[in-house]
Structure formats: structure tokens, C-alpha cells
Amino acid sequence: MRPDTAADHTAEAERLLRTATQYPQDSEPLLLQAAAHLELAGDRERASTLYDSLLASDPENPTLVKAFQAANLWEYGHEAEARALIAGIRTAAPADPAPWEIVAETLEAHDELEASHDCFTTAVTLLITPGDDEVPYEMQSLLTGRHRVRRLLGRAHDSWDTLADRVHSAQTAPSTIRLDELHDPKRLWSLGSDNPAELRAEIARLRSELGSYRSALSRPFPVAVLHWPQAELRELLTAYPALESEYPTHSAHLTDIESSLRDLASTGTGNLGIVTATVPSYEAFAASEQSSPSHQDLLPQYATTLAARGRAVSWPPAKGAACWCGSGVAYRECHGGLAAAPTG
């Protein structure tokens, strides 16, 4: 069951903290999830302590932790500390879009619209190539957020807004509401109207939009495909020959990964990723499920578990990036060159 009450969120945070102790190699994403549940439970002070402990442990992504900490601090009365953290993140100019989005949305939530706009603009200028329609999934929300803030500020469309419109249209059904209407400030006013007809119309629109986005909202981590490096696959098949029908050759395995991801993207599935498997990790997962590693049905469950622990790498790779297969060759010259890869 999904947590609904403060007690549920506290219980889920405790479970995640125990899991982080069992899987120290995955502790950072697990502790971030635990802190998020503590915030939802209203225990912002404890969440702040958890963020501080993460920062003291030399995390893989310190700017992301600082962004979460800044948002949390501002919500419970520590605005000066939050602003200091935000200033440091903007100076660091991270290549990860997540800290930028969190910081910009925090500023937006506290009516700092000009600062939020500047933050979104800096992020898209730094991370997205102008004129390139192949915007990675994790960066698309920067364009959408910037578009929203510009509508609140009454700014005219620019080239980034045009790109945001194209990305939004490509990701949604033809009947889905356009960004300009979705971000229209007047819609907020209609929700506060005492006119029943206006309220019913707005509720109908919101229900329609919720239907379009429900699948994305219910999936907090990528739809991930399992990737076995060549040495790991060799070890896996030596130990568990029953899996040879699933993986006839390593080359075929790599081709299947690319084909599967493109098929998913062609059906409109977004937030796609790849998780890299190891035999010891897979064996430990099988043991935790009280099952045998020889069971093919265990493989997709293992992939989902790795994705939930924050181990997925986004697909397709960013423009000019190396291929996901580990060849060291640019994606477009490797598996991305098999055909034009869709952006999901």
C-alpha cells in the first residue's frame, strides 16, 4: 500500500533506513527516499538531520542532497540557510538537471518567480543544446518548469518555450491540453471561483490531464532493462546454464536491449533506463526472494529492484555521449546507429 498518513510515511521511512543498512552500496538513494517520507510525515527536522548526515558521508551527488535540504529547510522556517545552499548550488552549476529543478521549484513555490526563472534559464542553457529536439527525459521538466514560470510572469514565448511545446506534444496524446493552457494562471483563479460551472469545467480538465499523466505519476523510477557486461554474462551462464535460452550470445543480448527500449519508446513509454547486473548482486537478490537464480521470471524483478535503488542510467544517452554498452564509442556510432533512436 502507498503511504497515506503521517504514520504510514514514518513507517516507510523506517523501512527504508533498515534497507539502507542492509544494502550500504545503495544507501544514498534509499536515504533520500527516507528523508522524503519524513518530510511528508511532517518531521522536517529529522529529515534535515538525515540530509546533513548524507552530506557528511561524501555522497555521490552532493548538489542533489543540498537541493533537497534547501527545499526542506525553507519549508520549516530556515529561509536564510536555504538561500545560502541555493546560492552555492547555482555557483557550482551542476551537470545534473535534478538539483536545478528542485532549486527552481523551491524558489517558485515561495513566489521568487524572477529568481526561479533565472535558475531554470541557466539550467536549460547549460544542459540542453539549442535547436536539438532530442531532449533527454530527465531534462524535459526543466523546459516545462521554465515555460510555467514564464507564463506566471507574463513573458512572451521564446525559442526555449517553443522547444518545450514540441517536447510536450511528442510525449502526450494529440487530445492532451497544450502547455499554454495548462500553465494559464487564470486556471488557478477558476479553482477559487464561487461559480459552480467554472469549478466543474476546471475539475473536468484536471481529470482529463490526470488520466494522461497517471502512468508517469505512478512510476517514481525508470522502466529499466537489464544489461549484463560480457564477463558477467559469461559467469552467469557458466553457473546457471538454464538461462542460455534467454541469452544465446552477448551480442544478441545487447541488440535485444536496444530493440526493447526502442519498442517501449515507440508506444509512448517515457523515463526509460538501463541497469547493469552483476552475478553476486543477482544471487543475493534471488536469495532474498527465496528463489533460484536459474528462474528466468526473476530477471525483470531484479531489473526493477535495481532501478528502484537508483541504479538506472537514462536511455537514450545524451547527444555525443558514449554508448550504454560500454564500448567507449559514441552512442550514435554504436547501438544508436542501428536506426534513428526515438527519444522517450
pLDDT digits (tens, 9 = 90+) for 104-135: 999 998 989 999 999 999 999 999 987 766 78
Where residue 207 falls (left for φ over 0; alpha for ψ -120 to 50; beta otherwise) is alpha
pLDDT band at 1 (very low <50, low <70, confident <90, very high): very low
pLDDT value of position 341: 43
d(Cα 224, Cα 315) in Å, to the nearest integer?
9
Query: In this structure, are residues 245 and 220 in contact, taking their beta carbons and an 8 Å threshold?
Result: no
Position 190 pLDDT exceeds 70: no
d(Cα 344, Cα 342) in Å, to the nearest integer?
6
Q: Checking DSSP bridges between strand 313-314 and strand 272-276, what pairing results, if any?
A: antiparallel
Residue 154: all three cell numbers together: 507574463
From 70-84, 207-221, 225-239, 289-303, the region with the lowest mean pLDDT = 207-221
- pTM assigned to the model: 0.61
Which residue ranges make up each domain of the chain?
6-217, 223-337
User: Rounded to the nearest 10 degrees, how much is the dihedral formed by the CA atoms of 277, 283, 286, 287?
Assistant: -150
pLDDT band at 142 (very low <50, low <70, confident <90, very high): very high
Position 339 pLDDT exceeds 60: no
Sign (positive or negative) of CA dihedral 169, 173, 174, 175:
negative
pLDDT in tens, 228-276: 999 999 999 999 999 999 999 999 999 999 999 998 888 877 788 999 9
pLDDT value of position 14: 93
**CATH 1.10.3720.10, domain 6-217, yes or no:** no
As a whole number, mean pLDDT of residues 138-153 equals 90
pLDDT value of position 281: 86
